[in-house]
Amino acid sequence: MMHPPFLKHGDKIAVVSVAGKVRREPIERAVHLLEEEDYQVQLTPNIYGRFHMFSGTDEERAADMQLALDDPDAKAILFARGGYGSLRTLMLLDWSGFFKSPKWLIGFSDITVFHSFLARHEVCSIHGVMPAFFFERGVRTKSLEMMLKLLVGEPLGYQIPGNGLNRTGLAKGSLIGGNLSLLISLRGTELDLFYDGKILFIEDIGEFDYHIDRMMMNLKFGGCLSRLAGLMVGYFTDTKTSRTPFGKSVNEIIYDAVADFDFPVVFGFPAGHELPNYPLVMGGDIALEVTEEVVLINQLF
């Protein structure tokens, strides 16, 4: 896998909305913060656009993203938010210039579409905070600070407490994944991931418990889980129980789906639709050490 060049102070970061419509306040605060960090910031023309649930028409959002992809001075693209619409945008893009000079793409949730696309083309990207996650109660978040350090090339390493459902072991492999619902929606397309020998990260929001089971059964029956080297489970936020309860917690559903395999499994990695939302280099190599007491995770460049 190839990772784009790390940033230097003074570099330009483009901010693009490729999916849901955005509010001005988080974007303006993010711009001010990034400028304080000595970056140039470029807002694309339609970032505050409105077209039903989207920040502009498909063509307007694609034009903004194309502008950022082709700008030789932009060294990173920060997605303004997720929502829905990334795939509709991606289908209209020309990536030929980007692949000659890759840059960091940063975001999560619906942005899983872009992480999956880049994984298929062996370019790293960052699963990390977007502007709404830059501040908490008016204070810069630890997740933001970690992402800023990552962008300039500081190595990532995490130590998190053990979990009773964790499966111990050692693993090393390329990190893939993101939002589980998005990963399932891409199955059978040219953005479907290669799972062989990879470490899979998953998270989600607002899903019924039996929907999560159905998605995990898709990955199991499709032969994806059996090919993994490891699994990291992030937040499953605001999950819902149907009128007739499924009978298992989300973590139990996932645990049962991988029970037939022997790779290490980590529950409770702090990433997804909550804070803290630690950055992960998608496509980058990762070393995973899981004991009963602690989990050690190191990104390897």
Q: Does residue 4 lie in a domain region?
A: no
Q: Are 19 and 146 members of one domain?
A: yes
Q: For position 73, what pLDDT does the model report?
A: 97
Q: Are 175 and 82 members of one domain?
A: no
Residue 203 pairs in a beta bridge with 179
Instruction: Return the ∠ at Cα 165 (arms to 159 and 169), rounded to 5°.
Output: 60
pLDDT > 90? residue 301: no
The letter for the amino acid at 30 is: A
pLDDT > 80? residue 59: yes
Instruction: Return the ∠ at Cα 290 (arms to 151 and 106), rounded to 5°.
Output: 20
Q: For position 141, what pLDDT does the model report?
A: 98
Q: Does residue 6 lie in a domain region?
A: no
Q: Does residue 54 lie in a domain region?
A: yes
Q: Are 45 and 85 members of one domain?
A: yes
Q: Are 182 and 123 members of one domain?
A: no
Rounded to two decimals, the pTM is 0.97
**Residue of 191, 63, 174, 77 lying closest to 124 (CA atoms):** 174
Of 151, 172, 199, which residue is a domain's last?
151
Distance CA 188, CA 186 (A): 6
Exposed e or buried b for every residue in 235-266, given b needs 16+ CB within 10 A?
Answer: bbeebeeeeeebeeebbebbbebbeeeebbbb
Categorize the per-residue pLDDT at 284 as very low, low, confident or very high, splitting at 50, 70 and 90: very high
Q: How many domains does the chain have?
A: 2
Q: What percentage of the chain reaches a pLDDT higher than 70?
A: 100
pLDDT > 90? residue 137: yes
Q: Are 75 and 110 members of one domain?
A: yes
Return mean pLDDT, the chain: 97
Residue 123 pairs in a beta bridge with 2
Q: Are 143 and 161 members of one domain?
A: no
pLDDT one-digit tens code per residue, 158-191 = 999 999 999 999 999 999 999 999 999 999 999 9
Q: Are 176 and 53 members of one domain?
A: no
Distance CA 110, CA 235 (A): 15
pLDDT > 80? residue 221: yes
**CATH code at position 74:** 3.40.50.10740
Q: Would the CA dihedral through 186, 224, 280, 234 be positive or negative? A: positive
Q: Are 178 and 62 members of one domain?
A: no
pLDDT one-digit tens code per residue, 67-121 = 999 999 999 999 999 999 999 999 999 999 999 999 999 999 999 999 999 999 9
Q: For position 242, what pLDDT does the model report?
A: 87
Distance CA 217, CA 223 (A): 10
Q: Are 56 and 119 members of one domain?
A: yes
Q: Which domain holds residue 260?
A: 157-300
**Residue of 147, 210, 144, 219 lying closest to 180 (CA atoms):** 219
Q: Are 103 and 166 members of one domain?
A: no
Q: For position 76, what pLDDT does the model report?
A: 98
Categorize the per-residue pLDDT at 276 as very low, low, confident or very high, splitting at 50, 70 and 90: very high
Mean pLDDT along residues 221-239: 98
Q: Does residue 36 lie in a domain region?
A: yes
pLDDT one-digit tens code per residue, 189-205 = 999 999 999 999 999 99
